[in-house]
């Protein structure tokens, strides 16, 4: 994967001001982004947070927040209904990222999966504590529209790619993944909801994740 195919060594530049054209509107909320070295990758930023070297740690953490706030907020919002719970949980997620940056190890996964795992876990905790489920279904129509949207951001492409991968699962596998991940059902609840034996659920979910991994080239 890292085979050097080009002769010139990579050089990382740190531009003082760099505003993506198509993300200018979003970035208008964050004028101080120009002062943050946002070309650093997530793993390096977590290392700075872990090392706690005064304002570098804070600046690095702020960059991580701005990169992941949208994804974390959207995921938590997908699982929870109460706006106060959503905002509290998002805050808790990032506080945990700050507190536990020292626990992150690249051998155990990407920084992205680490942060989103924290987010999903936190939301599930609240969901089960409140015993209230979000009834907002996955908007399949919106996902279909996104396949031909003129705004070809990598975010849109990603959603289309994942949706296609999900469509390649059989109906049972896709249903189980959606119930477990997006509805927060536990192992036992999945069995009650679907009428399937626990052993079958374990096997089908594992198979589904393996199929998605192959389809997405993930990990």
Residues 11-40 that bind another protein (CB under 8 A): 11, 13, 15, 17-24, 26-35
**Residue of 53, 112, 130, 167 that binds another protein (CB under 8 A):** 112
Considering the complex, what minimum distance in angstroms separates the CB of residue 64 from another protein? Answer: 10
Q: Return the closest-CA partner of residue 88 out of 134, 57, 119, 48.
A: 119
Considering the complex, what minimum distance in angstroms separates the CB of residue 170 from another protein? Answer: 16
Which of residues 130 and 149 has its CB atom nearest to another protein in the complex? 149
Q: Does 5 contact another protein by CB under 8 A?
A: yes
Considering the complex, what minimum distance in angstroms separates the CB of residue 63 from another protein? Answer: 11
Q: Does 196 contact another protein by CB under 8 A?
A: no
Q: How far is CA 66 from CA 3, 93, 134, in A?
A: 32, 13, 26
**Residue of 47, 48, 62, 63 that binds another protein (CB under 8 A):** 62
Q: Does 177 contact another protein by CB under 8 A?
A: yes
**Residue of 50, 71, 81, 175 that binds another protein (CB under 8 A):** 71
Element (H, E) at 158: helix 154-167
Q: Does 47 contact another protein by CB under 8 A?
A: no
CB under 8 Å to 101, separation ≥6 — which residues? 46, 47, 49, 50
Q: How far is CA 177 from CA 26, 74, 98, 100, in A?
A: 31, 18, 29, 28
Q: Does 168 contact another protein by CB under 8 A?
A: no
Q: How far is CA 193 from CA 88, 167, 176, 179, 201, in A?
A: 29, 21, 10, 9, 11
């Amino acid at each position: 994967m890292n085979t050097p195919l080009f002769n010139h060594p990579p050089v990382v530049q740190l531009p003082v001001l760099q505003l993506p054209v198509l993300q200018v509107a979003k970035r208008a909320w964050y004028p101080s982004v120009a002062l943050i070295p946002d070309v650093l990758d997530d793993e390096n930023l977590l290392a700075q947070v872990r090392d706690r070297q005064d304002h570098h740690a804070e600046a690095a953490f702020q960059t991580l927040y701005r990169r992941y706030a949208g994804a974390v907020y959207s995921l938590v919002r997908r699982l929870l209904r109460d706006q106060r719970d959503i905002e509290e949980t998002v805050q808790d997620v990032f506080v945990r990222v700050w507190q536990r940056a020292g626990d992150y190890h690249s051998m155990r996964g990407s920084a992205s999966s680490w942060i989103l795992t924290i987010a999903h876990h936190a939301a599930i905790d609240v969901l089960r504590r409140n015993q209230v489920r979000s009834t907002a279904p996955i908007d399949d129509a919106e996902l279909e529209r996104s396949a031909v949207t003129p705004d070809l951001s990598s975010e849109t492409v990603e959603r289309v790619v994942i949706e296609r991968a999900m469509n390649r699962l059989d109906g049972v596998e896709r249903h189980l993944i959606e119930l477990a991940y997006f509805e927060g059902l536990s192992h036992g609840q999945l069995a009650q909801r679907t009428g399937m034996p626990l052993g079958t659920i374990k096997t089908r979910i594992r198979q589904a994740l393996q199929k998605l991994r192959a389809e997405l080239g993930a990990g």
